Structure 1
Amino acid sequence: MPESVNFDRMADRYDETRGGAERGRTVAAALAPHLLGETPPERARLLEIGVGTGLVSAAFVELGWSVAGVDLSERMLARAAGRLPGRILRADATAIPLRSGTVDACAAVHVLHLVGDQPAVLAEVVRVLRPGGRFGFVGAGAPDGSDISEIIQAMQATLADGASRRDAPDTVTRLAEQAGLRLVADLTLTGAGRPSTPLEAARQIELRTWSTFWDVPASKWSTIVEPALDALRGLPNPAEARPARIRTPCLIFESQSPGTPARAR
């Protein structure tokens, strides 16, 4: 079983490379109506798993929610502390330090592919949710409609060698249902991404900005990634920004029974 991925190395660059506060507000606005249920916003309690620098949770606070967040990365949480004072905890999502049945909603945004034990995390989600509480999952966004995205997607498919992403919607749905969650909404968030040039895209790959590239072995880097970098640099007008459109899967689940402690607290 893989270990959970710690984002300490990205803390200083995370916000600028992941869309910043605007992305947080976009995600929160899309999730909030589906997570709220009959609970008034001023009484709604949300737990964000993998809170990171707090971009999404801070947007929920702006909407009137009471929010708590957990994350493995001390450096990411140091950034979140300014946005969410007193609302964050350093913890593994397989052992959430909250009592059972104490939150109305949980959210996991671009994080389930990074956790080592997905069934254990989802079991903890079920435990901390109140009966009828909801869990919002947001997976990896897929850019489309540009020559940049075509090259990057082909490269990523070759790197994956036929394996599906660990946060593929069908995989998450199967694991969530096994944990005791019921799928109630299947959405696609569609919006404009940050325009990028082929040269900038190549540079971000070289910097290993995305966790996909952190553990690529040298042999695959030279035979798969470097040809893709050459293709990006060889595109027409490589310093010209291409508009980006992002399609992001979003699933909403509902807890069907009271949470049961996984272990003594």
Structure 2
Amino acid sequence: MFIPIQSEIPKCRKSKIFEHARKSPSDLPTFKCNACGSCCSHIRGIIPKEDREFIKEFAFGKMPVVQLVPVERMTFPLWDWEAKRFMEWQKEANVDANIKPLRAIFDLKSNKAIILTYFMDSETDACPFLGENKCSIYHTKRAYVCRLFPFNRGPFIRDGMQLKDGLFGECGAMEKILPQLPDDFNAMIKFLNEAFPDESFLNAVQNDIVVEWANKTIVDLIRKKIIKPAMNYPYEFLLKRILNAEKIDFMDFLAEIKYLSPAEKETLINIFDNNMDAKEKIKQFLN
């Protein structure tokens, strides 16, 4: 695994709510964001413990994808095409999001640093787009990490299924939903799809699919000897090479080497943006 598949959002504390979960009544509760800004007010260094340990053990030179900043400094990850949008939206919102590369591959064949994800190196713990406890770009597509909240991750990533404990971050708007979350997996998927009309559930499922796609694509590029990632070098040496190298975004690199045509690249981003894979994945549970 090159990119931790868990979304980097604070995990909720274990709660007795889950111990008393019961089947959904006919009057289904639905999630509605209270726009309190709490989820956006602390975005630095909030990695779940298992992700933190994984990154510290493997992501500083032992894998094709290299972490470029200490775990304590990182904030929410942005896919490369999302970062491009944020760089434009910061102008509209009149903020400096200070968007920097977060994870990259140093390709020994092209001597390029291929950037997979970015992060906002904010001066404070809060998202730079948060103003007066309101998101200044809420009307836009935003990023997966924004749109999937209150989810931490989708329910399909652990041997095909993910236990419901750990699915969610802390959010006051979840009080009426959590007690009614079904124990049966199939019923839970249908419940989540109906209880989150804001599509945060679909976004969580889709983001996990994008992570899986990225990991498989990297493996395929290596297998076909299209790229040769630098691995097992001293981290400081590797970091210096990456920082001084010509940089290219992952999606742009795929188009440059003709792994994807420009049209295929835009189509793929559109599929990701519109949660088309996620909709197909959960469709079987909705009958």
Shorter chain as denominator, the TM-score bin is: under 0.3
TM-score (norm 2): 0.26
Q: TM-score, normalised by structure 1?
A: 0.27
Higher strand share: 1
Answer 1 or 2: higher relative contact order, Cα 8 Å, separation at least 6. 2
